[in-house]
Amino acid sequence: MISWAKIRIFLLGIQLLSVIFVLGKSILYPTVKDSTVNSFVFPTAVPLPQWQLMETGPVNSRLVKPPAYLSGQYISGKRYYYIQNDLSLDIEMRYLANTNGDLKSFIKSYTGQLLPVLKEQEGVGFYSLFIRQNRAYLSACINSHGYSTVTTDQFRRNGLRYALRLDRIMSWLTSQAEIMDKSCLWAHLSMPLNQDSPESASQTLETAWFNWHQWWSQHFLDP
């Protein structure tokens, strides 16, 4: 009579052989079945508390293609223009695939600042504030599982955190997906200084950013 212990050992052996088979397959045939980059369609309207959406349109043509140091493939983008009393807010969104998330180098070249101001907000992530030609800016890369980043190291660490999930590992082992999602929603917010101080404008951008991030973190998820 076969004992339950022997049956369990037999089943565990089958599972171990299956894992070895899948791992060997991933090493010998690492190509993902569908290597095409997913498209991303931006919504026509995005709600932003205390702001009124006036128009949407294409992003700034000068920044459509990522700079050389911001590796990746530009897929799509959209510009959102809001007003609040006498304030105006421009938000440009770009969906990048296979990127390194290096916004810090972009900001350095854009502003000439050697050390762009990096800030972190709990539950949101990292973002950068800077001033250029009488406008205040906030720039960040929204990762596919919510947190925002500015530097390559931040982007990589955040990606690895979610790459270690069991469902992601299994998708990678079965050649259904890459082990780490390298897509990013590049958010580029700006507003004119006018009579506001740089500090006041930056605070306004931060408040808008927190609400903006909250909406996008719920609508841009790693499949």
- Is residue 222 a part of any domain in this protein? no
pLDDT score of 216? 93
**pLDDT for the residue 159:** 76
Shared-domain flag, residues 88 and 5: no
Q: Provide the pLDDT for residue 71.
A: 73
| Claim to verify: residue 58 and residue 21 sit in the same structural domain | no
pLDDT at 173: 52
Mean pLDDT, consecutive 10-residue stretches, the chain (223 aa), reads 58 54 46 56 94 93 67 88 95 92 84 77 93 91 87 85 56 52 89 88 96 89 51
Q: Please report the pLDDT score of residue 29 as a whole number.
A: 45
**164 and 205, same domain (yes or no):** yes
Clarify whether residues 147 and 50 are in a common domain: yes
4-28 vs 166-173: helix crossing angle, rounded to 10? 60
Contacts of 144 (CB under 8 A, 6+ apart): 162, 181, 183, 184, 220, 221, 222
